[in-house]
Amino acid sequence: MTRPVFILGGAQTDFARSYAREGKEVADLVRDVTLDALGGLQLPPTSIGTIHVGNAFGELFNGQGHLGAMPATVVPELTGVPASRHEAACASGGVALLAAMSEIEAGRYEAALVLGVEQERNVPGDMAAKHLAAAGWVGHEGEGCRYLWPHMFARVADEYARRYGFDHAHLASLAEKAFASARRNPKAQTRGWAFTAASFSEDDAANPVIEGRIRRQDCSQVTDGAAAVVLCSGDFAAEYTKRRGLPMSAVARMLGWGHTTSGLPLEPKLTASRGEAYVFPAVRRAITDAFGRAGVDLAALHGIETHDCFTVSEYMAIDHFGITAPGESWRAIEDGTVQLGGRLPVNPSGGLVGVGHPVGATGVRMVLDAARQVTGRAEANQVEGARTFATLNLGGSAATVVSFVVGRG
């Protein structure tokens, strides 16, 4: 038996900000989110026993490694607190959360600060795409394409088309949903963006092809951003809520987790799964492992925050969560199941397409939004009556997969 892990809360920077344009750097993102998280929770830095930082590309975008030491650099009161940095491409935040949970479960520490951070808008777009391509198998896949990740997820769409048939209109519907939710989210990168109906069509001028079946509005954003949560033990959570005069339902709890890792290249995964029910069996396993550890099934969920680096990755998540049978994600899109107000809303925050995708921060941001949902603090994006949420965080072409189930404390 391990100790339960609670989520006191946290903070997110405004993903619409370009820190580079303001003359700021990754250190400023770390400082801002750390101070906001601790200040908002009224926790002194001395209450933190350990720090875990999720970051994928600091060396490439910033020339800066060793980001585990950055919190103490910018918040000197954290000097002496053990800290480490975790890299797993877009699942870096999820892996940082897993590491922090294990330390609390083992009884090493009572409270952990988990940060996810990435600065990506400080270089030209083509260079950003090149840096992000380091999460694939460099020199072994995507040769000849201009943009690796749109190309790779276009191949996922091709695989769905080969197995089950495919209509881009369903991806367009997911994109519209993402931007509509983002307009209600005060921290979303795209909350002020304007679109026309043509923006979600197959009009090559209004919604140009990026690679294969992937068009502009199918893509998540290049983002500067950070997110933070404070995880803690049950004793710490009980003392904290008592001191603040709060019920335990004011904090969230990590109910279950799943974590799988496959090889870097996409094509062998697609080939190997052709006799399987799911395109990515390892994704399905991470989800069902999280359900199993939480002691829940799909029927217990009130919503999901999933990794929509492209709309097709959300399309994949819909059937891999079991919302529909494999290959029938389109049914949940057409009948409104995944809309805010539907039977099981997916990405009520706006997701990576709408909120933004600072790579190392994404897994932490999703858990923060899930915790806000189950404690009734999601404001205009709130799912009514939400008590249990799941998350799904993907790194690379589903090479690293982390899933969590979050409930009320």
Tens-level pLDDT at each residue, the chain (409 residues): 479 999 999 999 999 999 999 999 999 999 999 999 999 999 999 999 999 999 999 999 999 999 999 999 999 999 999 999 999 999 999 999 999 999 999 999 999 999 999 999 999 999 999 999 999 999 999 988 999 999 999 999 999 999 999 999 999 999 999 999 999 999 999 999 999 999 999 999 999 999 999 999 999 999 999 999 999 999 999 999 999 999 999 999 999 999 999 999 999 999 999 999 999 999 999 999 999 999 999 999 999 999 999 999 999 999 999 999 999 999 999 999 999 999 999 999 999 999 999 999 999 999 999 999 999 999 999 999 999 999 999 999 999 999 999 999 8
Taking every pair of Cα atoms in the chain, the longest distance, rounded to a whole number of angstroms, is 60
Q: What pLDDT, on a 0 to 100 scale, did the predictor assign at position 1?
A: 45
pTM attached to this predicted model: 0.98
Q: Report d(CA 220, CA 61) in Å as an integer.
A: 18
**Domain 5-123+222-244 CATH (choose: 2.120.10.30, 3.40.190.10, 2.40.160.10, 3.40.47.10):** 3.40.47.10
> What angle separates helix 311-320 from helix 168-183, to the nearest 10 degrees?
100
Place of tokens 């998350």: 391
Q: Helix (H, G, I), strand (E, B), or coil: what is residue 95?
A: helix
**Helix, strand or coil for residue 183?**
helix
Burial of residue 171 (number of CB atoms within 10 Å: 0-12, 13-18, 19+): buried
Helix axes 148-164, 311-320, angle to 10 degrees: 40
Q: Rounded distance, CA 27 to CA 117, Å?
A: 9
CA distance 89 to 99: 16
Asked if residue 101 lies in contact with residue 115, where contact means CB atoms within 8 angstroms, the answer is no
Give the torsion sign (CA, 252, 256, 260, 266): negative
Whole-number pLDDT of residue 318: 98
CA distance 55 to 232: 21
